[in-house]
Amino acid sequence: MSCRTIVAAITGASGAAYGLRLLQCLTAAGVETHLVVSPHGEELLANELDLKKLDARVLVGRHADKLTVYPYRQMDSRLASGSFLADGMVVCPCSSNTLGAIAAGLGNNLIYRAAAVTLKEARRLVLVPREMPLSPIMIESMLKISRAGGIICPAAPGFYLRPRAVEDLVDLVVGKILDLLEVEHSLHTRWEQPRHKAP
């Protein structure tokens, strides 16, 4: 069953295509999506996808009514309160800086605060780091978040479906994220046992 409300964040780790595709899939599935983008995330969208403005219609097209965009520094936002009933939160892509801040329990911007609220309310938090290799500090941060109830889902696409384009690789990662958020989708991401010819 699809979630009704998801908080989403895009930060400055390379991988803007993952974040944009995720937004498109969430809103197309009818999910009320509440988006916060960090300043480096805005640069990422501009540099990698030529998206110069955080406009719901530009980001998700005809499903713009399902997307609300919040300022990064709007600490009086409803997303900063546990009383806002979201089904979960996803940070995609998640920079190492954001990973460390969430692991430390910081709350000095709306992304960090919303993540802290998600953990304290025991809701699903999915972080999608893309950077490699991983330093011991990053690994320790991931372990700390995992122990607190978060899910670490690296943007590491599989090749078992024989992808033919970059979009196929993006969809493999986004499909996994949607599964973790319990949002129905029609992306081609399922492993099927190969049929062997009879001898």
What would the pLDDT profile of 71-114 be if each residue is shown by its tens digit?
999 999 999 999 999 999 999 999 999 999 999 999 999 999 99
CB-based burial, 43-63: b 16+ in 10 Å, e otherwise: ebbeeeeebeebebeebbeeb
pLDDT category at 1 given cuts 50, 70, 90 is very low
Average pLDDT over residues 159-165: 91
Which domains are seen in the chain, by residue range?
A: 5-180 (3.40.50.1950)
Reported as a pLDDT band with limits 50, 70 and 90, residue 176 is: very high
| Per-residue model confidence as pLDDT tens digits over 10-51 | 999 899 999 999 999 999 999 999 999 999 999 999 999 999
**What does pTM read for this prediction?**
0.93
For residue 57, pLDDT beyond 70: yes
Strand order in the sheet with 32-37: 67-70, 32-37, 5-10, 88-94, 124-129, 151-152
